[in-house]
Amino acid sequence: MAITIVFANQKGGVGKTTSAVNLGAYIAEAGKRVLLVDFDPQGNLSSSVGADKTRPGVYELLTGSIEPRAVVQTTDVTNLSIVPTTSDLTGANVELVDQQRREYFLRKALAPLSEDYDYIFIDCPPSLGILTLNGLVAADRVFIPMQCEYFALEGLTQLMESIRLVQKRFNTRLVIGGIFFTMYDSRIRIAQQVVREVIGYFGSKVFQTIIPRNVRLSEAPSHGVPINKYDPNCVGARNYQKLAEEVIARG
């Protein structure tokens, strides 16, 4: 059975997708079987591994119109696979709203794939809507990437409320698996202050590795490969590798 981890933060541009793909790549490199699930209609995760978004993907998986394994695509990284998004997922957003037990669609859809993998990573859109809710209900753990800026803390209360609601009503297994900082720039004084405040509040939930701002990380997606296949020696790569080691060590 896979450990299912959802990357959630209703803020856009905090590093959800970048973290899902690069952590996935390094955990796969360490010999674990990893399945990425692109649950954001924007499809950035799919593009980041060069997946074919014209083939059946997560929408077909959700609706059960296809055999689950048929939507999985392999990537250039050994042990790393993906269920890409499909543009129809935008429609699913609307369709799901009227369904009974609409919070459980992704969880049900992923269940038959769980035994094939050690980790399933779900990448969410930047909102706390029905798609992210499905992601939280499907997961064992939630990972929260945060940018080191003042406004990062403002959204956190809302996210915590959503997590508590899911824990109470839909998924009692869900725990906060970890919080980590991305795009860190030590020259910005507020960055250190934000890190201190978050550690003060969440304690050991905060991963020790901090991902620095590194332009190579933002270039890799345009080549359709994770950072380990683009520039494995850059500072961003080395830190995602360290973070991956922490994730594996937490079990």
Question: Footprint of ligand ADP on this chain (CB under 6 A)?
Answer: 12-18, 44, 126, 182-183, 211, 213-215, 217-218, 221, 236
* 17 binding Mg ion? (CB under 5 A): yes
CB nearer to ligand ADP: give 105 or 240.
Answer: 240
Residue 134 binding: pick among ligand ADP, Mg ion, none (C-beta 5-8 Å cut-off by kind): none
CB nearer to Mg ion: give 16 or 213.
Answer: 16
C-alpha distances (whole Å) from 43 to each of 53, 131, 224 are: 8, 13, 12
The answer to whether the CB of 207 falls within 8 A of the CB of 178 is yes
Number of Cβ atoms within 10 Å of the Cβ of 189: 8
Structural tokens at position 155: 């959204």
User: Of 21-60, which residues contact Mg ion (CB under 5 A)?
Assistant: 44
- Least Å distance, CB 125 to ligand ADP, is 8
Alpha carbon dihedral 184, 188, 193, 195, in 10-degree steps, equals 0
* 85 binding Mg ion? (CB under 5 A): no
CB nearer to ligand ADP: give 56 or 236.
Answer: 236
* 18 binding Mg ion? (CB under 5 A): no
Tell me how far the alpha carbon of residue 246 is from its chain's centroid: 16
Residue 42 burial by Cβ neighbours in a 10 Å radius (0-12, 13-18, 19+): middle
Residue 166 binding: pick among ligand ADP, Mg ion, none (C-beta 5-8 Å cut-off by kind): none
CB nearer to Mg ion: give 64 or 213.
Answer: 213
Give SS3 for 208.
Answer: coil
* 16 binding Mg ion? (CB under 5 A): yes
- Least Å distance, CB 64 to ligand ADP, is 27
Residue 85 binding: pick among ligand ADP, Mg ion, none (C-beta 5-8 Å cut-off by kind): none
- Least Å distance, CB 100 to ligand ADP, is 30
- Least Å distance, CB 181 to ligand ADP, is 9
Give the integer Cα–Cα distance in Å for 19 and 10.
15
- Least Å distance, CB 16 to ligand ADP, is 3
CB nearer to ligand ADP: give 13 or 112.
Answer: 13
CB nearer to ligand ADP: give 56 or 122.
Answer: 122
How many residues sit close enough to Mg ion to count as binding (CB under 5 A)?
3
**183-190 long-range Cβ contacts below 8 angstroms, 24+ apart:** 183/14, 183/15, 183/147, 183/148, 183/211, 183/212, 183/213, 184/148, 184/210, 184/211, 184/212, 184/213, 185/148, 185/212, 185/213, 186/212, 188/148, 188/149, 190/148, 190/149, 190/150
Q: What residues make contact with Mg ion under the rule CB under 5 A? A: 16-17, 44
